[in-house]
């Protein structure tokens, strides 16, 4: 028998635990999406410099690093014709 054809038997408790975990993951993803959208709206409303200055130093550094990385990458691509 092909292992793909074998159906896994779950107990009711296992199914409930799986459903609860799946629901929790979906809620966390929805919350994350909402927070990112609110952050985007805040940047547009208050300006990036204002929002950046209100962030933790670690978060500021992470954003600067990714922006600098993207800038350097695009500069290299533009200058090499990629």
For 22-47, the pLDDT digits (tens) are 988 999 999 999 999 999 999 999 99
Average pLDDT in the 40-57 region?
A: 96
Domain ranges of the chain: 15-46, 55-82
pTM: 0.63
Average pLDDT along the chain: 89
Task: Assign 21 a pLDDT band (cuts: 50, 70, 90).
Answer: confident
DSSP states of the chain: --GGGPPPP--HHHHHHHHHHHHHHHHHHHHHHHHHHHHHHHHHHH-HHHHHHHS-HHHHHHHHHHHHHHHHHHHHHHHHT-
At residue 70, the pLDDT reads: 95
């Amino acid at each position: 028998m092909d292992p793909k054809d074998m159906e896994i038997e779950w107990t009711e408790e296992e199914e409930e635990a799986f459903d609860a975990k799946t629901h929790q993951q979906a809620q966390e993803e929805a919350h994350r999406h909402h927070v990112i959208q609110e952050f985007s709206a805040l940047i547009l409303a208050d300006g990036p410099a204002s929002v950046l200055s209100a962030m933790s130093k670690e978060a500021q550094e992470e954003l600067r690093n990714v922006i600098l990385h993207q800038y350097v990458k695009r500069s290299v691509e533009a200058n090499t014709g990629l």
